[in-house]
């Protein structure tokens, strides 16, 4: 099973605290040409090298025979994006449950706080 292989791969990478499958594959809507979207959260105490996402995607493609793997490092992404990943995605790996729960609750709380501003911004954009 692909998820078990992904867990083994992520387990080898100590810098990855947790990972989500998101997009069409997580929704069960993937077609033969769909890419595989994976969001990973990196331990902020660890340094990663440039092009880390590409190297990890290539490793996953080699070990799973999946094509079109796209790795997104969740650290520092927009609040709107971060809210979507755990909400509609699927948790596929967690090395640190405390960090994952803190991430999810912090993102949810911040999103709820900013939601009225997002809605107002969206209304203004529609008028343009």
| Residue 1 pLDDT greater than 90, yes or no | no
**How much of the chain, in percent, has pLDDT values that exceed 70?**
98
Element (H, E) at 55: helix 52-64
Dihedral sign for Cα 108, 109, 112, 117, please.
Answer: negative
Mean pLDDT for 77-93 is: 96
Domains of the chain, residue spans:
2-127
In terms of Cα–Cα distance, which of 78, 74, 84, 79 is closest to 18?
Answer: 74
List pLDDT tens digits, range 13-45. 999 999 999 998 888 888 888 899 999 999 999
pLDDT of residue 125: 86
Average model confidence (pLDDT) across the chain: 94
The mean pLDDT value for 84-103 works out to 97
Residues in Cβ contact with 74 at an 8 Å cutoff, skipping those fewer than 6 apart:
20, 39, 40, 41, 42, 82, 85, 103
Task: Give 2-127's CATH code, choosing from 3.30.460.10, 3.40.640.10, 3.30.470.10, 3.40.50.300.
Answer: 3.30.460.10
């Amino acid at each position: 099973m692909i998820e078990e292989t992904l867990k083994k791969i992520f387990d080898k990478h100590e810098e990855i605290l947790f990972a989500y499958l998101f997009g069409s594959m997580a929704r069960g809507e993937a077609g033969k040409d769909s890419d595989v979207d994976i969001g990973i959260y990196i331990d902020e105490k660890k340094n990663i090298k440039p092009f880390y996402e590409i190297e990890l995607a290539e490793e996953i493609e080699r070990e799973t025979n999946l094509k079109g793997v796209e790795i997104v490092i969740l650290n520092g992404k927009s609040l709107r994006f971060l809210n979507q990943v755990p909400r509609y995605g699927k948790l596929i790996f967690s090395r640190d449950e405390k960090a994952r729960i803190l991430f999810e609750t912090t993102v949810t709380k911040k999103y709820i706080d900013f939601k009225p501003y997002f809605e107002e911004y969206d209304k203004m954009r529609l008028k343009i």
